[in-house]
Amino acid sequence: MPIAFERVYLESAGYFMPGEPVSNEEMDDYIAPLNRASGRIKARILAENGIQKRYYAIDAEGATRHSNAQMAAGAIRDCLARTGRGLDEVSLLTTGSSGGDLLMPGLAGMVQGELAAPPMETLSAHGICAAGVAAIQSAAQGLELGGHARALAVASEMPSRLFKRSRFAAQDYNADFDAHFLRWMLSDGAGALLLGTGGGAVPGASQGVRLRLKWVHQRSFSGDYPVCMQLGQSLDKRSHLDYSSWSEAEAQGALLLRQDIRLLPHLFDIGIHEYAKLVHEGWVEPTRIDHFLCHYSSAKFIPVVEDLLDKAGLSIPSERWFSNLTWRGNTGAASILIMLAEFLETRALRPGEQVLCYIPESGRFTAAYMLFEAEDASVSLPKVRPADLAAASAEASALIDSAAAAAADTAAVDAVVAAPAVAPAPGTSPATDPATLPQIDPAIEPTRDAGVAVQSSAAAATAAAGPEADAIAPPHDPETAPDALAPLLAELASIWHDYRSRVWRTPMVRSLREGRFGTEDYLNWMSQWVPQVREGSKWMREGAASLSERHAALAALIGMHAGEEQNDFKILFQDYRNAGGRIEDIDQLRRNPGGEALNAYLHGLAARKDPIGLLGAIYIIEGTGQRIVPALLPLLKAALPLPANAFKFLEYHGHNDEHHLARWLAAVEMVLRVEEQGAARRIVDTARRTAALYLMQFEHITEQ
C-alpha cells in the first residue's frame, strides 16, 4: 500500500539542462549514425516519440561538458536559489539515477562532494525511471519520522556518453534494433526537490500556496517478467563482469544499452492495474485530480494510456495532463523531477487542487505514483512535538516487527490461497495494437542462435523475447460492460491480477521463460491438461441443468457455450500426439492432483441448485485461455522444435476466448437482473477459489 505522509511539503523544485537545446536535425552532430539503417530507424522513432528538442552533456566531439554529478549539483543550486535556502539547512541528500559517473561510490556522495556540502546523511537509489521516486520517498520518510527538517532529493541522468558512435566500434557498427532504439529516445538532465516540514509557500507561478506530499506508492513486478531495459548483459545473458576483460565484454555487446520493446505492453498492464487499485482503495479519486504528470517515454503512448484509463472508467481529462517531453526530452529518472519543477514554474495552483504523478519503469517493470495537494499557506500548521515523533517512530517499528512475525506464520497458507495482492478495477489490461508501439525493422534485426531465440523477422523476435505485444487482451471487455457491473468486475480483476502474477512465477512458467523447457516437458503438461479440458463441457452442462426456471436464458447460454467446447479436448489430444506423445488411448491420460481438485470442486458446485458462482470459475478459466495462453504460446514456439500442428489448441483459444468472455459478460448481466444481492459475492468467491485451484494445477505440472 502507499506510504502516507502528514508533514512533508515540497518547498522548492529546480532543474539543470546542459548546454543548448538540440533539435532533431542537429542530433547527428552528437549521436552520429552507425550504419545505413540508422537514418531510417531514427526517422521512425522521432516521428513516434514526439520529442522536438533535448539536451546533451557532451559536445559535438563527444567530450563531456558536464558530469552526471555536476548536473545534479546544478539542479540543486537552482532548487535552493528559488527559495533562498542554503546547503547548511539540509541534513539529508538522496539521489536517483541509472548510474553515476563512477561504478562506485554512489552518486549521492559524488554530488555532495561536487557541492562541497557540509556533513549530512546520504542515500543513492539505483534503478531506471523510478529511481527518482525512490529518492523522493526516502527523503520524505526521513522527514516524516522526524529525523530531518529538510532534505534534498535529486535525480540525474547522462545516457549520451553511451550513445557515442565510438561505443559501437567493437560491434563494427552493426547494432541490433534494441541497441539502436534508445539512442533517439533518451537524453541528459537533472531535477531536484527540496522537501521540508515547514510548509512555506512554494515558489513559482502559484501565490500563497504550499504543496503537501500526501503519499508515494511503488511496486515492482520483476518477479513476473524478464528484463526489458538493461545495460551490462550480452545477448547470451552473460554479465559484463563475467568476461575476462572489458574489451571482451564490449566486443560481445554487453556494454550496449538495450530496450526490448516487445515487452512494453506489460508495463501498461501493471501500471493501469496499480492505478485502478489505488482508486479502488480510496487513495485516488479521479474526479479530484486537477493535474496529471505522466512520465511517458514517447508521445506514441499517450493515446494508449488515455484509452486504458477510459476503458477502466478512471480517465483523467486530457486538458489536465502536463508533460514537457516535447521540449525537454526523456531524461529517465530525472524526468518527473524536471517535470514537477517546470510545472510549478508555469502553472498556478489553488488550495485544494491535487497533482498526481505516474512514473512507469521498464527496466524489469515497476509502477510508481505520487500525490500532492495544494494548501493555503496562510493557514498555520499544527505543532508537532519531538516526543510525539519519537513515540510514532517507536510505534511504527513495533508494527513492522509484528507484521514480519505474522507474515512468517502465514507464509505457507499464502502460497496456496492468497488474499488479492492487487486490487485493480475493470478493464485493465491493454489489448495493445501493434501500431501503437515502435516497429522493429526486419532489415536490421539480426539472427541469433537458438539459445537466445531471436530470429530475423519481427514476429519471431517477439516470440523469442516474450509474450506477444498484440496478444495480451483483458480477461473481460470493459467497453461492453454496463456500469452496474463495475463493482463486480473490479473485484474479479483484483483476483485475476494476483492469479496471473502467481502463475507467471510457477516452476513450469519460469522454466519456459528461462529456456529450460523441453519437448518432454510439453508432453508432460499436455498429458495432464487433456483430461482436465475434457471435463469442461461436462460440468458446464451439469451446472446449466441445475439452474431453476428463472435462469432459463442463462442455462441456454451456458449450454450453447458447452456445446462449442465439447470437442476441444480432442484438438488438444491431437496436439499432444503431433508433438510426439506416446500414449494412444486418451482414457489413459490422468489429471495431476491440482487438476483433480479443480475438477472435483467444479462438479460439486455444478450439482448444487442455481450454481451461479460457476460464472466466477468461467471467468478464471476462459481468462487463462485468453491472456495467459497467448503469452506462453510464442515462448513455446521459440523453445520447442515442434511443428505448427502441435499448438493448434493454444492458437484456437488465444483467438476465440475473447468472444467467449464477451458472452460471459452477457451471462453475468442476466444473473444480476434476476438474482438476489448475494449473486455477485458468489461469483467473486468462486473465482477466488477457482484461481487457487487452477494455480495448484500449474504448480503440479512439473512434479509428474
**All structural domains of the chain with their residue ranges:** 3-376, 434-703
Mean pLDDT to the nearest integer, 180-192: 95
Residue 401 in this model has a pLDDT that exceeds 60: no
Mean pLDDT to the nearest integer, 631-635: 86
Burial-class residue 189 by CB neighbours within 10 Å (0-12, 13-18, 19+): buried
3-state SS of 393-456?
A: HHHHHHHHHHHHHHHHHHHHHHHHCCCCCCCCCCCCCCCCCHHHCCCCCCCCCCCCCCCCCCCC
Of the candidate ranges 158-172, 321-335, 547-561, 661-675, the one whose mean pLDDT is the lowest? 661-675
Residue 428 in this model has a pLDDT that exceeds 70: no
The rounded distance, in Å, linking the Cα atoms of 218 and 2 is: 7
Residue 101 in this model has a pLDDT that exceeds 90: yes
Q: Average pLDDT over the chain, rounded to whole?
A: 84
Residue 598 in this model has a pLDDT that exceeds 90: yes
pLDDT at 488: 85
Residue 678 in this model has a pLDDT that exceeds 50: yes
Residue 176 in this model has a pLDDT that exceeds 50: yes
Using pLDDT thresholds of 50, 70 and 90, give the confidence band for residue 459.
very low
H-run or E-run covering 595: helix 593-606
Residue 55 in this model has a pLDDT that exceeds 50: yes
The rounded distance, in Å, linking the Cα atoms of 521 and 527 is: 10
Residue 68 in this model has a pLDDT that exceeds 50: yes
Using pLDDT thresholds of 50, 70 and 90, give the confidence band for residue 691.
very high
**Domain 434-703, CATH homologous superfamily name and number:** Heme oxygenase-like (1.20.910.10)
The pTM of the full predicted model, rounded to 2 decimals, is 0.74
Of 329, 285, 418, the residue nearest 55 (C-alpha): 329
HSE-CB for 208 with a 13 A CA cutoff: 6
pLDDT at 489: 83
- Residues near 81 by beta carbon (within 8 Å), at least 6 away in sequence: 14
Mean pLDDT to the nearest integer, 332-361: 97
Cell 510545472: give the residue.
343
Burial-class residue 578 by CB neighbours within 10 Å (0-12, 13-18, 19+): middle
pLDDT at 83: 96
- Residues near 573 by beta carbon (within 8 Å), at least 6 away in sequence: 530, 586, 589
pLDDT at 447: 33
Using pLDDT thresholds of 50, 70 and 90, give the confidence band for residue 310.
confident
* Pairing label, strands 92-97, 150-157: parallel
Using pLDDT thresholds of 50, 70 and 90, give the confidence band for residue 172.
confident
In the chain, pLDDT over 70 holds for what percent of residues?
A: 83
Q: Read off the pLDDT of residues 350-367 as tens digits, 9 standing for 90 and up.
A: 999 999 999 999 999 999
pLDDT at 449: 33
CB 140 within 8 A of CB 195: yes
Q: Read off the pLDDT of residues 640-665 as tens digits, 9 standing for 90 and up.
A: 999 999 999 888 765 554 566 667 88
Q: Give the DSSP letter of residue 675.
A: S
pLDDT at 517: 94
**Domain 3-376, CATH homologous superfamily name and number:** Thiolase/Chalcone synthase (3.40.47.10)
The rounded distance, in Å, linking the Cα atoms of 146 and 389 is: 6
Of 193, 191, 195, the residue nearest 5 (C-alpha): 195
Of the candidate ranges 209-213, 489-493, 603-607, 681-685, the one whose mean pLDDT is the lowest? 489-493
Q: Higher model confidence: residue 456 or residue 407?
A: 407
pLDDT at 304: 76
The rounded distance, in Å, linking the Cα atoms of 261 and 20 is: 30
CA 474 from chain centre, in angstroms, equals 15
Strand intervals (E) in 573-664: none
pLDDT at 232: 95
